[in-house]
Structure 1
Amino acid sequence: MKRRQFLTFASAGLGSMLIAPRIVFANVESDRRFVFIIQRGAADGLNTIVPYADPAYGKLRGGLAIEDSIRLDGMFGLHPSLAGLGKLYQEQQALFVHGVASPYRERSHFDGQNVLESGGTSPYQRKDGWLNRLVGMLPQSQSEAIAFAPTIPLALRGDRTVASFAPSALPEAPDDLILRVGKLYEADEQLHSLWNTAMEARALGAPEEKRRDAASVGKTAASFLARPDGPRVAMIETSGWDTHSGQAGRLANQLRALDALIDALRTGLGDAWAQTTVLVATEFGRTAAANGTGGTDHGTASAALLAGGAVNGGRVMADWPGLATSALYEGRDLAPTLDLDALIAVTTAETFGLDPQRTMRTLFPDGRHSAALSGIVRN
């Protein structure tokens, strides 16, 4: 095996064994960072950003109603598990958008996620993803994006090449071999640099149980994004948001983990946090009323969360439809009044200094730009 072939194999092998899964990075030329966190499973927006002042909320939710929310304004409160985001809100570095939905109006997780990630208006209409198309709009610093996951998420599939590294069952390379290979490449300027990069990735490794910890995932993502020559776009997949039963404890744990992930990003990014936008969104929301098993069923509109030093925060954006029976979508769901596609397009355009209407046409060809959602990211 030639030296360059071996280095490629070694770098990929070490990365696949040791780097946290479910993260995707893309390399572009920019000082700004953009992180998309997808909540797979339909996160309950009504108990995340709580409309505590809506008179119908408590009646619909019953025992699931959040009574100790962190007050944001005269209408909305934040779930108490999101204390870190609450502090960012007070520091005007977090913004919440309620009553938001993609064009999808059915209740299938697979179809809803397909529409959200592809940027189409119906399931399987498009084969590529909006995040891949966004990367294509930006000047490239390297030729590939990297997914530390078994498969590439649809949002990043497309013309821009993405390499996928999944955790491997192979045994870890012995320290003696690592030292000998390092010595072999000491005199080679190009290979020495590449080997050092591989070793930095190896150093970020952790046991399998820690790799799945939300804070560890955030720390790993930040360690790449904070580097002067590192990636500037990341996607992080989270799951477990389908709370048909026992929602109170399960949602609290999910939100606590999300809060820890974002806090780890903030801490790990250091000064680069000031140039960062984090967008959290889900495929659809959950029913306005609780069901008979202490949970909620598949719904329509939900809430999106934004955080980062670049975010023009300290507010809740909502064209609130209300939770009265006559106002509910199909008599059961929070009605969608804001467009998630437009929110994504505006947020990414303002993050990277792109023309918002051109960004909308590229990322969501059948969507419409919304000037009402402007001013999310600071100049």
Structure 2
Amino acid sequence: MTVLHAPSRRDLLLGSGTLFAWAYIPKFAHAEGRDPRFLTVVLRGALDGLAAIAPVGDPDWTSLRGDDALSLTGKAPALKLDDYIALNPAMPNLHRMFQNREAIVVHACATPYRERSHFDGQDVLESGMTKPNASDSGWLNRVLGDLVRGERVNAKGSQMFAVGPVTPLIARGPAPILSWSPQQGLPVSADTIQRLLALYRQTDPKLADTLTDGAKLTSIEKADGMMQRKSGGPSPAQVRAYFAEVAGTAARFLAQPDGPRVGALALDGWDTHFNEGITSGRLSQLLAALDDALAAIKSNMAPVWHETAVALVTEFGRTAHINGTEGTDHGTGTVALIVGGALKGGRVIADWPGLKPANLYENRDLKATTDLRAVLKGLLHDHLRAEEIALAENVFPGSADVKPLAGLIA
């Protein structure tokens, strides 16, 4: 059964995630005796790549971030990846994957988007276009249509389903979708609500009124005594449980012999303007939740982990400097993380731009030196055997000069 709804572009970008089926094993993969799985995880809100994966070997790193700079020593030492790069200590599962050659870090990367609007940045990230509002379909859905069909995964028809009530833009297109939602959704923080209200009071007053009414309703104590936390957002335990449930469920379906082979989901909350908490606060808690989600994916994909590649991407990075409220503002360069048993992993890939003031993009951001589309093209070409011409012309239009990053898949 296909989900029949007509969500707005706003809904598509706010959707919590989706997992949809490719009914056939790609022909070339089948001929090679392979049955690849591919999952994309969108980290919505702009991940601080420098806080997640720190350039501890850069001579300007400590002076740039001061007491907030991760290091290999101290109360919360970072986890060493190589002589130059270290991982946030909240992610020991990812560290073990890296040591087992099941993870790759691509640093100083970004989409072609160079402004700092969340909605436009997410649009470019998920549509695969060079500018926002250029398409109502997503690159992941379009690549499925370009794959050469091999044998059916399920002789009785494909199983197609979505994680979350609204299909995000990355998965929109001709592939039919079914819906699955977690029993408990993740509560929306007061900060997120206020930012949406500020945006829509200018662009969509009716939606702003609706959001205002909704916020009032959630603040009313219910008869059973259940209500939102006074802080207005989910607790760390709620975030960890939600991330693990959504990611783990996606993995269980992908691991089924007659289940889907390609999917996507979104994990929100990465907009850290204030009190970021790199090692003991909000960002650390989010990274720990993401680390749990990666562990759930690996555990539930266990029978086919060796056939699996998972790409974790975000719309842009954050400022190189900490701001006056102990947070970071919207930036440019960030990290892309790839995990899976199908990888040629245990590597950090970076054309490192340096952190001297003269090397920062517009004197404030980590400069992007790797196009995220090159990373995604490399995965889609080598793992799913998508053709380069289709990737350049249909999946990521206008990207003929962006060559696939080779050698990511073992």
Q: 1:152 aligns with which of 146, 167, 174?
A: 167
The one-letter code of the counterpart of 2:174 is D
**CA distance in structure 2 between the aligned counterparts of 1:353 and 1:125, rounded to whole angstroms:** 26
Deviations 1:311-338 (A, max 9, x none): 1111100000000001000000000100
| Cα offset, 1:167, TM superposition | 6.5
| Cα offset, 1:148, TM superposition | 2.5
Structure 2 segments unaligned to the other structure (5+ residues):
3-15, 26-34, 72-76, 185-237
Q: 1:81 to 1:369 in 2, by over 3 A?
A: farther
| Stretches (4+) displaced over 4 A | 140-144, 165-169, 209-212, 369-372
Match of 1:267, SS? helix
8 Å CA contact 1:28, 1:135 repeated in 2: no
8 Å CA contact 1:356, 1:369 repeated in 2: no
8 Å CA contact 1:51, 1:57 repeated in 2: yes
Question: Counterpart of 1:232?
Answer: 261
The one-letter code of the counterpart of 2:88 is H
CA RMSD after TM alignment: 2.1
**CA distance in structure 1 between the aligned counterparts of 2:146 and 2:159, rounded to whole angstroms:** 14
8 Å CA contact 1:342, 1:368 repeated in 2: no
Given the alignment of the two structures, is residue 36 of structure 1 paired with residue 40 of structure 2, yes or no? yes
Given the alignment of the two structures, is residue 135 of structure 1 paired with residue 144 of structure 2, yes or no? yes
**CA distance in structure 1 between the aligned counterparts of 2:39 and 2:167, rounded to whole angstroms:** 16
8 Å CA contact 2:20, 2:176 repeated in 1: no
Given the alignment of the two structures, is residue 219 of structure 1 paired with residue 248 of structure 2, yes or no? yes
8 Å CA contact 1:35, 1:277 repeated in 2: yes
The one-letter code of the counterpart of 2:37 is R
Given the alignment of the two structures, is residue 22 of structure 1 paired with residue 17 of structure 2, yes or no? yes
8 Å CA contact 1:95, 1:305 repeated in 2: yes
The one-letter code of the counterpart of 2:385 is G
Question: Counterpart of 1:310?
Answer: 342
**CA distance in structure 2 between the aligned counterparts of 1:101 and 1:211, rounded to whole angstroms:** 27
Deviations 1:320-378 (A, max 9, x none): 00000010000000001000012111111111123334323321011135457201012
Q: Of Structure 1 and Structure 2, which has the larger fraction of its residues in helix?
A: 1
Given the alignment of the two structures, is residue 282 of structure 1 paired with residue 314 of structure 2, yes or no? yes
The one-letter code of the counterpart of 1:273 is W
Given the alignment of the two structures, is residue 326 of structure 1 paired with residue 358 of structure 2, yes or no? yes
The one-letter code of the counterpart of 1:24 is L
Give the 5 Å matches for 1:78-93. 78-93=87-102
**CA distance in structure 1 between the aligned counterparts of 2:182 and 2:345, rounded to whole angstroms:** 37
Match of 2:366, SS? coil
Deviations 1:42-101 (A, max 9, x none): 000011111011111111112221122111111101111111111111111100000100
Structure 1 segments unaligned to the other structure (5+ residues):
1-7, 10-20, 170-208
Give the 5 Å matches for 1:360-379. 360-368=392-400, 370-371=402-403, 373-378=405-410
Deviations 1:174-227 (A, max 9, x none): xxxxxxxxxxxxxxxxxxxxxxxxxxxxxxxxxxx6995222222211211111
Q: 1:270 to 1:165 in 2, by over 3 A?
A: closer
Q: TM-score, normalised by structure 2?
A: 0.74
Question: Counterpart of 2:81?
Answer: 72
Given the alignment of the two structures, is residue 61 of structure 1 paired with residue 56 of structure 2, yes or no? no
**CA distance in structure 2 between the aligned counterparts of 1:277 and 1:23, rounded to whole angstroms:** 17
The one-letter code of the counterpart of 1:261 is A
**CA distance in structure 2 between the aligned counterparts of 1:211 and 1:86, rounded to whole angstroms:** 18
**CA distance in structure 2 between the aligned counterparts of 1:116 and 1:256, rounded to whole angstroms:** 24
Identity across matched positions, percent: 43
Q: 1:368 to 1:57 in 2, by over 3 A?
A: farther
Q: TM-score, normalised by structure 1?
A: 0.80
**CA distance in structure 2 between the aligned counterparts of 1:167 and 1:273, rounded to whole angstroms:** 23
**CA distance in structure 2 between the aligned counterparts of 1:95 and 1:83, rounded to whole angstroms:** 15
Question: Counterpart of 1:106?
Answer: 115
The structure number with the bigger radius of gyration is 1
8 Å CA contact 1:345, 1:359 repeated in 2: yes
| Cα offset, 1:27, TM superposition | 2.6
**CA distance in structure 1 between the aligned counterparts of 2:183 and 2:82, rounded to whole angstroms:** 48
